[in-house]
Each structure stands twice: as C-alpha cells, then as structure tokens.
A and B are shown apart, each in its own frame.
Chain A
C-alpha cells in the first residue's frame, strides 16, 4: 500500500449503542478499511450491518445513544477521534461531506435551495454573500440543474426528488471536500433518475479527484461504480477486495450468498439462492463468527472469531473456511 496515497483510514472502529435497559448493542465492532485519493469504495451490507453507523462515525455524528468506543479514523494521518468538537466542525463539510438517502428530509423546507448552499459555502470559506451566491449558482450548474439562477430562489418542495438530490450534492461539494460519503444516495429515486445521479457522482469525482465512500445495499450499483468493496455483516467486515475479487471470486459464504440471492436483469434464474434465517439481533450476536448460525460451512472452529486473512493481493476475508467456498457452487446453501 503506497502510504502517501492514503486519504482515509478507519482502524478497529467500535461504535456501541445503549438502550433504556443499559444493554450494549455493538453496532460497529472493530471495523477497518481504507480509501485512497480519487478512489471509490463501497460499504455493502443489509440493514443493521453497521454501514450507516460507520459513515456517521467518520463524521463523528453518531447520535447521543451511541458512543465511539475505540479505534482510529485517520484523515491524511490525522486522527479525527482526537480532535476537539470545534476542530471537528471544521472538518465536516470542508474535508469530508455527506449526502443522504432522503433528500427531502435532508433539506430544510423553510429555506430556499440558494440559502442553504450559500450557508454551507460561507461557513467554511471567506467569501462575501455575493461571491457565495455566484459560487452556488456555478455549483447548481455543475450538478446539472437547469436554470440554475432561478432554482437558487426556489424552496425544496418545488424540486423533484432527483433535483433535490442534485441540490444536496451541490451543497456537499460546496467546499471541495476530499472525501464524499454517499449514504444510499439513490435508494429513494427511480431507476432512470438513479442512473442520472450515479453518472453525475462518477463524473464529479473524476473532475474533483475526491475519494468517495458509497454506502449501499444495491450490489448492482456497487458493480458499476466502486473500485473496491467492503462487505459488512452484523457490525463487522467479512470481506474486502477489488470489485472483481468480490463479484467473481467471493471467498466469504455471506458474500457468496448475497451475490447469488439477488435477482438479475441479464439472466433468468430458475431459483434464487437463499441465505436461510434472518440477520441476528444486535443484542444477541452469535459468539465467534457472527454469520455462523446461517452458514452452511459452520463447524466448531467457527466458535472462535475468524481473523483477517489476505488470500490474494489486497483481497481480505474473515472466514475460517474460505478455502472451501467452492463447495457452495455445487450444493448452495442447502445442507
């Protein structure tokens, strides 16, 4: 790994939540990954796997029930977890910014689009209102909003879902962040609009040379956009590698199951593979490998937690039985 190219490193991050009864929910439990300059990585997993919590933790925006209980988040070598709240505010929006799943709830309905973008600009840059407004207009143009000047004075409800997401992106890009975190940016949008937005994010990333962390459950989006993929399950990373590693040579049974259970547009599948059971309750994660109670390869070894193993160049997997993954090709998840 060329150190000087590293933009963001998350090491052994732990985020725990506490409920009314004081029980501990280990939502993110020892997660680590890295992001190079100008690279897109995807955090993939089902709901409750901890991918969104991880992204919020990078910005230190985990809500009050949750606590970051350990680990390091290094942005160009500087540990964000050691910064004061004031220093952290400087980082948010300027170095790292985020776009959310629901553009309608992430924009404030009582301010115009322009006001909100201008506020974001003035917060981090010494610009007059006039200059900031000009920048805002350019930003809207950059994200492909027609009649940018007119749109500045419109309220969020006057924009369609796709346009709102574009405005959100404009706001996130207002200070040329080094890292853009996109949390399910297209989940609430229609396919044709989704295609527009994904294209836009790719295009902007090339132009601005940002690192992008794409958080999604949609493996189709991942295959088209991410250079590297981090697969998460129940608060832990289970596999990490290039998109070809992950899609063509998955070595964790969960990754394998996930890939075979998604309906595909390009081929007709007689029967979809099934991962039996449900995602475990975060209060009751299985000991050892957290996937073991749904895994066809499970045996006594799985009671101990698997460690990270590099099976090919920068393709890591957390599974005791990764060498037996071919077995699944013949018999699937059925016993």
Chain B
C-alpha cells in the first residue's frame, strides 16, 4: 500500500460519521447478499415479486409471522429485505451509466473546447431546464412501466451533473503545465485525457456519484409511489409505500393505526440515503488536497 492510500485510510478511520456511513452501507450490502436466507422466496417463483400472503386487502399489523406487518396482501419484511437489492440495482446501474455518460460528454466538451463545448453544454442546459420528475414520469409513461424503463428514464435525466462537474474540473486541469508538458512529449490527446486529466478530476465526480446514489433511490421510490415505477408486487421500497397510500391517514380517530406501512420501508430508505451521503462526505474529506499535510 502506498503512502497516499495509507493516509486516506488513516483519515477515514478517524472520522466517526465516516465509520457510521460505511457500517450502514456494509449492513445493507449484507442484507442484499443474504436476502434469500433472511426472507426465503417461495420455490420456483421470481424472488423479486413479493409473494401474496393473505387474501384480504386490509393491512395487517406486525405479528410473529409477519414481523413488519402486511400491506397490499404482501409481507412488508420480505419487501424491505428484497427491496434492498432493488435499491442497489437501481442506484448502481443508473449512477454508473449516467456518470459514464456525463464523463464522456463533459470530457469532450472540456478538453476539446470551442464548438464541441458550445454544442454539448447547450444540450446539457436544455436537459437541465426540464423538471426531472415530470420528465421521468412522461418518459416512463411512453416507455411503459417496469424497473428497466424507470432506470432508463432516470439515466437520461441525470448525466448533466457529472458532465458539468467534469467539464469544469477539466478546464481547470487543462491549464496546468503538466498537460502542456505531456503534449510537448508528443502524447496523444486521448492518452492525455486518460492518463493525466481524468485521474486529476475524477475524484469529485466519484464523490458526487456516491451522494447521488442515495437521491436516485428516493427518485425511483417517488416514481414507484406515483405508480409509474416498478410493476405490481415488485419488491421495492417505493412500491411498498404505494400500498400505504390509501391507509396513510389511519382509521377513524386512529391516525397512527397503520404506522408500520410507512415506517419500515421509510426507515430503510432514509438509512440507505444517509449511508451514501456519509460515505460521500467522508470521501470528499479524505481526498481534499487542501487537508493534506
């Protein structure tokens, strides 16, 4: 391990909120990996579809059999556990693709500048001017429901952040003399981007990506909640909240009667977002060159 890596580790391990963030994240990863053992799916069925456990459409409160209760005929515990996998899947895939897309567009705009910059950045501006949630809803309506469609819609509308970030960073790094020095050596533009510019600009983007991971899951949940996201019965935190829609106000005189319908998926979501934000914060502090000594 080189000195730089050691330094980053030292810094991360001395920060309480970083430890909390990573602990939460590891917890979610374990839950996602062990999902089949924590909440075993009925044999021969798609495990991502929450099995129907009752024929009454009324929610049931937590019981030894259904520790988080039942909503929309389905077990909330099962949904929360398998929903972790969905959350990771949506978060990681959308973040990866949108970041990659943003990187590509931002680097071309930033490095080559001039007309490229002008065209690509105006396109970025247009995309940024469209309200994200509305656009994603429209797009899912056109494409049809389904998790892959949701992810596609979200990807289309979330590459602009990384694109602008990377462009700004590249404009800054491009002025550094080491880029000029590489040109003087005869290094090609492509290798200059890959070997010199990106390594010096990538960290803020990765940090931003980890923070976005959390918010993307919220957006996905919002879409599911609005009914344009995951299909019926899909193990997804947003979909679980969707079941709570009609019961949110509680029964007569008992406002909190159906608390379990919102609290369990809600807490899962909050902790998931918190984990990514804490990790993002911790990474930012660890990589901030100004804090280096």
Contact = CB atoms under 8 A, between A and B. Distances in A.
Do A and B contact each other directly (Cβ–Cβ < 8 Å)? yes
Interface of A: 19-21
Interface of B: 293
Nearest to B292: A20
Nearest to B291: A20
A20 B291 CA distance: 9
3 contacts: A19-B293, A20-B293, A21-B293
A19 B292 CA distance: 11
Contacts of A20: 293
B80 to A, nearest CB: 42
A21 B293 CA distance: 9
Contacts of B293: 19-21
A255 to B, nearest CB: 32
A311 to B, nearest CB: 41
A27 to B, nearest CB: 15
B152 to A, nearest CB: 46
Contacts of A21: 293
A138 to B, nearest CB: 42
A19 B293 CA distance: 8
Nearest to B11: A20
B180 to A, nearest CB: 22
A189 B293 CA distance: 31
A19 B291 CA distance: 11
A21 B292 CA distance: 11
Nearest to A23: B293
Nearest to A20: B293
B47 to A, nearest CB: 49
B125 to A, nearest CB: 29
A280 B293 CA distance: 17
Which are the 3 A-B pairs with shortest beta-carbon distances? A20-B293, A19-B293, A21-B293
A22 B293 CA distance: 12
B76 to A, nearest CB: 47
A22 B19 CA distance: 23
Nearest to A21: B293
